Structure 1
């Protein structure tokens, strides 16, 4: 009889130990999973600090359903008839707290020195992603504008290590940036919708062929909601101008998804 009781107690202890082991095993897995998740988030955050060129990560930022920022409005006219890009950059930099203006940026932007020529119907000129092409100050001479690479290079001189080149990304990344208080400089066209093929022509440049449109334009995106995109337009002097969202996105995509912003 005593033997049976001892055996029974021993069995209960054995069962209890097994249950206790399983409980801590499961708890240990959960703790490990939680710890592993935290490590991954920290790694992403550190990567962003070390590599500001990377895309904005969802783990860092959240996109709101709508947002609208108060960004300084600067007009390009009358001084810079072709200076929408540097004027837009002046707005972006002033929003970041940098003391600069469109005329200073116009002097400092990198230029492509290629001279305009037309031979047998073929146009030879500069490449806007190499530097500003042509005359920024007057329509009396040939000219066009500048794309994101020289703008980003100039912006880095004022905010070293803080400029993000978002070119090639999705429009949702622009919305995420605005959600988190940072406006976005972009390249679009002056109609803010898809242009027909006849609005483009091909140039031969030292960097290769490039398809350009004289309707190329640059604005600073300041907000969005479900139906519209809002932006500061340096050409018309309109603050938080709104355009149908899908039309605006289509124009931006057609112009190469060019965009830059800044981080703290």
Structure 2
């Protein structure tokens, strides 16, 4: 009789330990699943992720393209345009410097005086002056496009610089969505356009009224309210998106970019 009681007690102890073990394993599985779900959630919302997705409507909430920060100072005090396009070229893995682009590839035309009249270039055809000079002025997109294509052709590149001036805000943002940064002409610090200088054009003798606060930057990302830009005077910075594109429009909507030749 004592042996039967002892055997029954041993069986009961084994059963109790088995159920306790099952409970612990099930609880561990539950904890493991919970931890995995939390890790996935945190990974999706990592603020360091260069491309964020809004889960509610599956739209991009933030885009950032890692273009190189290249400052125009000190070598090119008036070279924001050629510095910006150099940043685009290095983004596409071309090994070129801002001074090489300015000195060798950028079309330039110096100022000169004749009969007490100041003559300068048409900024749609050549840079007015020299970016190395404190008295240099600026250029619009066509000479920057020409400089980039001269360089790309010389090194046997498979890309093409193109003038996209006149593009809408939506079109420019589509380029960024596709991973293509864009050089955009704006006013310095988004201030109103200021015209306080003028010269006669070499070819036509027409008077050209020049802006004194024109600036060029690389648009390389955005979020719901801001644009991210590589500013050759400041480095990587942000601007209010609405004000940024208002400035772009106020100057006449000048822009350029670099794409594959097949596009």
TM range, smaller chain = 0.5 to 0.7
Change (3 A) 1:210 1:227: farther
CA distance in 2, matches of 1:175, 1:64: 12
| Matched ranges for 1:34-73 at <5 A | 64-73=60-69
Change (3 A) 1:149 1:219: same
CA distance in 2, matches of 1:65, 1:166: 25
> Relative to total residues, which structure has the larger strand share, 1 or 2?
2
Does structure 1 retain, via aligned residues, the 8 Å contact 2:111–2:120? yes
**C-alpha displacement of 1:87:** 0.8
Match of 1:152 in 2: 145
**Partner of 2:221: helix, strand, or coil?**
strand
Residue-pair matches, total: 194
Question: 1:80 and 2:76 equivalent?
Answer: yes
**C-alpha displacement of 1:225:** 2.3
Structure 2: which 5+ residue stretches go unaligned? 1-58
Match of 2:200 in 1: 204
Match of 1:92 in 2: 88
CA distance in 2, matches of 1:117, 1:254: 33
| Matched ranges for 1:1-264 at <5 A | 64-107=60-103, 108-115=105-112, 119=116, 123-139=118-134, 142-157=135-150, 158=152, 159=157, 162-195=160-193, 199-207=195-203, 208-236=206-234, 238-239=235-236, 241-264=237-260
Does structure 1 retain, via aligned residues, the 8 Å contact 2:186–2:216? yes
1:12-69 Cα distance to aligned partner (Å, 9 max, x none): xxxxxxxxxxxxxxxxxxxxxxxxxxxxxxxxxxxxxxxxxxxxxxxxxxx9453111
Change (3 A) 1:194 1:160: farther
TM-score, scaled relative to structure 2: 0.67
**C-alpha displacement of 1:118:** 8.9
Change (3 A) 1:205 1:227: same
Does structure 2 retain, via aligned residues, the 8 Å contact 1:112–1:130? no
Change (3 A) 1:251 1:123: farther
CA distance in 1, matches of 2:113, 2:211: 15
**C-alpha displacement of 1:227:** 1.3
**Partner of 1:66: helix, strand, or coil?**
strand
Does structure 1 retain, via aligned residues, the 8 Å contact 2:159–2:258? no
**C-alpha displacement of 1:124:** 3.4
Which of 1 and 2 has greater Rg?
2
Does structure 1 retain, via aligned residues, the 8 Å contact 2:108–2:130? no
TM-score, scaled relative to structure 1: 0.67
CA distance in 2, matches of 1:99, 1:248: 30
